[in-house]
A and B are shown apart, each in its own frame.
Chain A
């Protein structure tokens, strides 16, 4: 009797799990039949970002420094009012080709100052930024907290393309078909803006790039809206991973070496095993 129990315990345990799964499955199927999952607004209207090509893409991608400088100007003149860049330091801007003196000036002139605590007075004050400071945090009184942008292109799927599509996606409207299902999208709630690239479709950020020439480019590039948006996306790829070029270059050397080593080890393997059938 006990040995029969021990022999069949596997079937009992297996049977128990399968029975419970069958009951769960029955419930799920019934659920789908009686309450078919409703079409969601996100499913109907959300769009994946349009493809964007940048110089930093691909195995050998390198940053386009002039584009990064333009992108930095867009960030400085437009985005920085609301979004911080707190993982980046002013000194890092030297990577973009700015000189020490230029970096110093950028830091000093930066609109948001560094908070300092006066120990004696017990009060908070401010001082100008210096190159060794991180970009200061931005305190934003409006609805929603604008995210820090340092890592934004890594923190979203297909990040650079996402930023570009989001910034240029404010003109799109829900389709007539979508509005039939979700009439509430005919009018965007106050303080919100429809944007099909944003996960929730309605975004609190007002369109930041509104007219050509909004940012003063000094390198002769025409500052159209798509151009500014692409430039700032490229800049944010750099802020998310300033070491990207080193990574690509090191990767090439490492792979080159390993492929060479693969030939050697394959040769060693063949010669060691020569004459031994296996």
Chain B
């Protein structure tokens, strides 16, 4: 579906006419990201992050495919193939590796902003639930991909991270240990685990790419929401995607690349853990096993569950950690407020910012050693995290009196620009 005033594709060049009448791919592109897709005129920069996530995905695919050409997936050879072969001997191999490792971090920065944008502006609400659901699926796939990628260089954190994460499965009652051994192909991470992680790490990004196509398809049915959350009412509310948003996204991409390059070229190890420059050693456990920064909030939730209550503490931790993400699937039905944008929801807006602070606190605790003070803070912050989604949001969507909404996007724009 598209708005009735969407421009129609009329190929001018005979070659394009020839192609378009046989395979309407040019038409498809035109309607997806060209002048044929009308977009609200008032999108702010937070709406750049979907495209940036796409750029990050493409960067990861390209650097990853070339890295795979030089990687040896064996417990004996992986560390060397990365730290000698790729880092020293392959031409510009250091660039590929730093770009891929920091690209994962940039991907998560962008995705977290993209998700919080969705939370603030109520983008998950009808009629965009499917966009959101696919987003959560993508997020889960992304986490799995990043985890398996981190195991590949077979450093100390790779090995012990794999040990801890696959340990989650042993929390499953009765069959847990068996499941873990089956998943790893052994009692501890070794060649079998490394090879299957490599295989899946190569596969999943393409699954993500497929899910992204569905995500954007689903988005293009109702079209993008916007900072007011008021739906498009007429042609004056929209501009064609091209050239308006290609220009704006182009600027966003360049700014993204500046931040990305600063990391790659001037602080390539900033976000990594020094221990991963030590080859995996199954006999020596690192003093503090920590995952990559983008998993810290979830790691804090996992470690916050220290009490056995009906179920063992570890099982609670694992359930809560997965639950903290799975509950996002239900969000469109937990938040009953008909108003989308947080800008018009005085109570929700406060709850949103408390949630942002809460996740940052969880992240900080998850990256710190499991000392009592950090555990206590994580316990409070984790409780708030669940309270936010399962109690606070459902309740305030009943209690709150929203501020009056603008009559239309254009009205809001004109009010803001003072005309």
* Interfacial residues, chain A to chain B (CB-CB below 8 A): 10-11, 13-15, 17-29, 31-32, 37, 59, 87, 92, 134, 147, 150-151, 154-157, 159, 199, 240-243, 246-248, 250-252, 254-255, 258-259, 261-262, 265-266, 268-269, 272-273, 276-278
Question: Using Cβ atoms and an 8 Å threshold, which residues of chain A touch B277?
Answer: 151, 154-155, 240
Question: Which B residues are CB-close (under 8 A) to A159?
Answer: 274
Tell me the dominant secondary structure on chain A's binding face: helix
For A7, the closest partner residue in chain B by CB is B394
A-B contact pairs, 5 of them (CB 8 A): A18-B383, A20-B309, A20-B316, A26-B307, A155-B277
Q: Which residue of B lies closest to A246 (CB)?
A: B94
Q: Do A14 and B309 touch (CB < 8 A)?
A: no
Quote the shortest CB–CB distance from A166 to chain B (angstroms).
Answer: 14
How far is B124's CA from A193's CA once the two chains are assembled, in angstroms? 60
Within 8 A of A (CB), among B38-78: 41-43
Contact B379 A243 (CB under 8 A): no
B331 nearest CB across to chain A (Å): 10
Cβ–Cβ contact A262 & B251, under 8 A: yes
Residues of A within 8 A of B275 (CB): 155
- A residues within 8 A CB of B41? 276-278
Looking across the interface, which residue of chain A has its beta carbon closest to that of B156?
Answer: A155
Residues A242 and B254 in contact in the complex (CB < 8 Å), given A14-B391, A24-B306, A254-B265: no
Cβ contacts under 8 Å, A252 to chain B: 265
Chain A residues, CB < 8 A from B266? 59, 248, 251
Q: Is B5 an interface position by the 8 A CB rule?
A: no
* Distance of A248 Cα from B391 Cα, bound (Å): 51
Q: Are A17 and B306 in contact (CB under 8 A)?
A: no
Tell me the minimal C-beta distance from B387 to chain A in angstroms.
Answer: 6
Closest to B416 in A: A277
CB of B117, distance to nearest CB on chain A (Å): 17
Is A24 touching B313 in the complex (CB atoms < 8 A)? yes
Establish whether residues B254 and A262, one from each chain, have CB atoms under 8 Å apart when the complex forms: yes
CB < 8 Å neighbour of B254 from A92, A155, A156, A258? A258
Are B80 and A87 in touch, CB under 8 angstroms? Answer: yes
Docked CA distance A116–B304 (Å): 54
- What 0/1 pattern do residues 404 to 419 of B give for CB contact below 8 A with A? 0000000001100101
Chain B residue with Cβ nearest A244: B94
Task: Pick the 10 closest A-B CB pairs, nearest first.
Answer: A251-B265, A14-B390, A155-B277, A24-B307, A272-B247, A25-B379, A154-B277, A265-B251, A151-B277, A21-B383
Question: Which chain B residues border A250 with CB–CB below 8 Å?
Answer: 95, 265
Give the distance to chain B from A242, nearest Cβ to Cβ, in Å: 6
**Chain A residues in 8 Å Cβ range of B327:** 13
Q: How far is the CA of A250 from the CA of B386 in the complex (A)?
A: 46
Q: Is the CB of A27 within 8 A of B334?
A: no
Pick out which of these stretches binds chain A: B289-297, B351-359, B370-378.
B370-378
Determine which residue in B247, B316, B391 has the highest number of CB atoms from chain A within 10 A of its CB, and name it.
B247
Q: Tell me which of B144-152, B202-210, B255-263 binds A.
A: B255-263
Min C-beta distance of B369 to chain A, whole Å: 11
Contacts of A18 in B (CB 8 A): 383, 386-387
Give the contacting residue for A10; candidates B239, B268, B269, B390; CB below 8 A. B390
A243-B413 in contact (CB<8A): no
**Contacting chain A: which of B8-16, B81-89, B161-169?**
B81-89
A154–B97 CA distance with the chains assembled, in angstroms: 15
- Give every chain B residue within 8 A of A21 (Cβ-Cβ): 304-305, 379-380, 382-383, 386
- List the A residue with the shortest CB-CB distance to B287: A199
Besides A17-B386, A21-B383, A155-B274, 8 more A-B contacts (Cβ < 8 Å) are A10-B334, A24-B305, A28-B376, A247-B265, A250-B95, A258-B258, A265-B254, A277-B41
Pick from A32, A199, A243: contact of B87, CB under 8 Å: A243
Task: Check A277 against B417 for contact (C-beta < 8 Å).
Answer: yes
A275, B360: Cα distance in complex, Å: 40
Is A87 touching B380 in the complex (CB atoms < 8 A)?
Answer: no
Q: Is the CB of A241 within 8 A of B87?
A: yes
Q: Which residues of A contact B265 (CB under 8 A)?
A: 247-248, 250-252, 254-255
Contacts of B304 in A (CB 8 A): 21, 24
Cross-chain contact A28 with B247 (CB below 8 angstroms): no
Residues of B within 8 A of A259 (CB): 258
Known: A14-B391, A24-B313. A87 touches B83 (CB 8 A): yes
Given contacts A37-B372, A251-B261, A258-B261, contact A28 B379 (CB under 8 A): yes
Chain A CB within 8 A of B264 CB = yes
**A248-B265, A276-B239 known; A258 vs B390 contact (CB < 8 Å):** no
Give CA–CA (A268, B242) in the complex, Å: 12
Partner of A276, one of B244, B309, B383: B244
CA distance A148 to B257 in the complex (A): 36
Complex contact A277–B414 (CB within 8 A): yes
B121 on the A face (CB < 8 A): no
B350 interface residue (CB < 8 Å to A): no
A155-B278, A159-B274, A258-B254 known; A87+B84 contact, CB < 8 A: yes
> Across the interface, which residues of B come within 8 angstroms of A22, CB to CB?
383
Interface assignment of B323: CB less than 8 Å from any CB of chain A: yes
Tell me the nearest residue of chain B to A17, going by C-beta.
Answer: B386
How far does the alpha carbon of A140 sit from the alpha carbon of B45 in the complex, in Å? 59
Residues of chain B lying within 8 A (CB to CB) of residue A13: 323, 327, 386, 390
Residues of B within 8 A of A32 (CB): 372-373, 376
In whole angstroms, how far apart are the Cα atoms of A204 and B372 in the complex?
31
**Residues of B230-254 whose CB lies within 8 A of A:** 239, 243-244, 247-248, 250-251, 253-254
Please state if A25 and B390 are interface contacts (CB–CB under 8 Å).
no
Which B residue's beta carbon lies closest to that of A250?
Answer: B265
Contact of B383 with A278 in the complex, beta carbons under 8 Å: no
B253 contact set on A, CB distance < 8 A: 265
- Which residues of B are found within 8 Å of A269, using beta-carbon distances? 247-248, 250-251
Q: Which of B255, B323, B380 contacts A262 (CB 8 A)?
A: B255
- Contact A10-B94, Cβ < 8 Å, known A251-B261, A251-B264: no
Contact in complex: A24, B261 (CB < 8 Å): no
